[in-house]
Structure 1
Amino acid sequence: MGAVMIAVLGLSLLQAFIVIAAASVGWILTGIIAVSGPAAGTSGSVISRAMYGVLGNRLVVGLYGWLLAAVYLSLTWSAASINGLGLLGRMGLAQTATLGVVVVLVVSGLTVLVAVYGHGLILKTYPYITNFLVVMFVITSLFMIPHFDFSHAPAEPLGGMHLAMMMTIGFTMLVSTPVSFINSPDMARYLPKETPGWRVAAATALGGALPGIVFTSVGALIATGAGFDMVLDPMGAFDAGLPGWFFPLFTIAVIVAAIALNAMTTYSASMALQALGIPIRRIPSALIIAVIGTALTIVSVAIYDFTTAVSQMLQVIVVAAGPLMAVFVADVLMRRGRYDGVDLLDASPSSSFWYRKGWNLAGLLSLVLGGVASAMCLNSEVYVGPVAAATGLDLSIPAGLVIAAGSYVLLSRTRLTAHLA
């Protein structure tokens, strides 16, 4: 995505770095909602009953939770599959659509295996996986430094409204990652309940922002390398820039990263289905979401080039992710991070979160209003909203966040009073 800022949007290095830094602020939102995890001791897909009601939450989790999970499974698996195909190509295997499908199935199968074993396996293995990936990606960055062109300037420098348009589009692409982590409470919920909220928020936010800034900036710098086509052949840059003996190790590291990240996503998504009240065990639930993500991945790998598929999906997904994040953040702040996990797990009409016949119209209406505002301001190849068409700017994220959060505060304050004591 850092490379897209340079190779696709035509930004200068300084402009790309500004967009990267600005988008990293979105991780603060991810950190804020993580505070609800230890407080409630349950997953985000259950905590959101406080925002939408017991029955309304089923609709939201069913439509939005699974949609986000499936799309991000597809994005990450696509990256792993592209790398796997590149490695197999170096081994002499012809790059066919069939081989691409096989690679996707293998990667998704390994991911599901980790997700099935769940929390216990994640706790035991992820510290080692994380340290391995840090070392591999730092070494990769060091090897690529000779190819960085710090004096790089676009062939046609952007200015005025055209520059503003490209920077807002880039911002939307990059900030879509932090605002999509609606499942951050799922990871934090295992922390002791007495853990200070600011520590939970800071660890979550910095854990996403710092590596994001570093490696997205590295991607932008790689795109300045002479002869590197980061749009049609993203693996080609690494193949040409890395030593022959290290390139396979880098490829394996990307695949491992994809499996590790998607295993957590699949694990969270499997709990989301249970939160709908459907009588299904976690393992079959994980398999269902994996099948959906695998299908999307096969389409993106077989039909579209990787960079285009990722760029388009990241832009469009903000219409759902932004308002979801905004309502969640507003609720956490209004409640000062205090949640009753026992009450949240009560799905009967006696629950404090039953609201009106199981529906909290304040949360649901805010979600709809935020989504409409975001769609009106979206500027993508798939869809251009009327506001974006008039201004040329992509303001889908700020519009969705502000309208959804503002609506939620205005519509729900009196109803929430009983829960804020």
Structure 2
Amino acid sequence: MNDASTTIGRRLRSLRLERGYSQAQLADRAGVSVDLVSLLERDLRESMSWASMVKLARALDVDPGVIAGKAPQLDPVPGAAVLTVRDAVINPGLLPGLQADHDGEPASEGDIWHLVERAYGAYFDGEFGVLAAELPNLINECRLLQTADPVAAAGPLSHAWQLAGSVLVHTGRDDAAAIAAERAVLAAKHGNDPWRLATQYGVYCWVMLHQGRLEESERLAVTAGEDIEPSIWCLFRSKAPPEQIAAWGGLMLHAAVASGAAGHADRAEEYLRVAAAGAARLGRDRHDYWTSFGPTHVAIQRAHIMTALHRPDAALDASRKVDPRGLFKVQYGRHLLNVGRSLLEQRHTDEAVEVTTRARDLSPEWFRHQGFARSLVTDLVTRKTRLNAPLRGLVQTLGHLS
């Protein structure tokens, strides 16, 4: 059913009929209009808001990615296979009480951290094929080190699981991604760094967001944030370590995104406000544990939330505070997609095409895996009476539209 070669409407209709619902029944269960369901199924409307997709997915008891048609589209790299990553995560050899399924001498802790750094480089450059090819070996090396020194292995192993979860989300395997995110948290708990652990809770929040579990994502972010929240006295008198402020602020941004996606604008604004206070205390953007927080990232998430809430003026205003110089490729690319969507809502179609093309050029492989990009390009095609060369290029990158 998770077939990116069909349209959203065809996937929606097939799921609805499998469950025996009429269009009116599905609309009622999801809390959306019958007109929306009808237009989608007749391919008269080829995209919808994330909030509507989440509602329909919940009503049909599937992940939103199933409706969106997420599917692996990795660049051809030897050994690259999403199923191999999934199998490394859902591995019977990890079950307690069984003999270890790996052997050999572990690499040094320094060498393993070098492998982790290289894997993150591939991820943030949008090279998912390269990452998928390297992850099984990275996980195995971390597990070998864990056998010899569990505390030393806790950090790199948690990041190996985090990377596995990230590539699985982008390739439409959200359930396996949730297992990987849980493994990342459990690995981090065996270490001695509470801020690393907090960032792994944030990754779990992000995975739940992609599953459409918005309230749970927000609740986890708030709960984990409360455990490490710096006091007001520490926050403004330089007593809180910057890693603590960054980990806490990142969780507040996860809460803001989840509440904004659920349409709770006031709650999202409050989370953004407290996150901005932490970012102001830091004074600059930080990249701790391969997660980012600071003034630019507060602006990025504000633009993201305002885009989701269909407030393009506010989104574009926030984007003016984004400094791309310290951003990884995929971070800036995702932000540019929000800018493109907001420009389209303001009917600046040519500008939206230009910005979306810039996002694509940062990493075509990453771009192909973005459901938001596919939805945006679909709407750009609908808006233009004649496809110009840049828009044709976007369509060709995606291979097809749904």
TM-score, scaled relative to structure 1:
0.27
TM-score, scaled relative to structure 2:
0.28
Which structure has the higher relative contact order (CA within 8 Å, separation 6+)?
A: 1
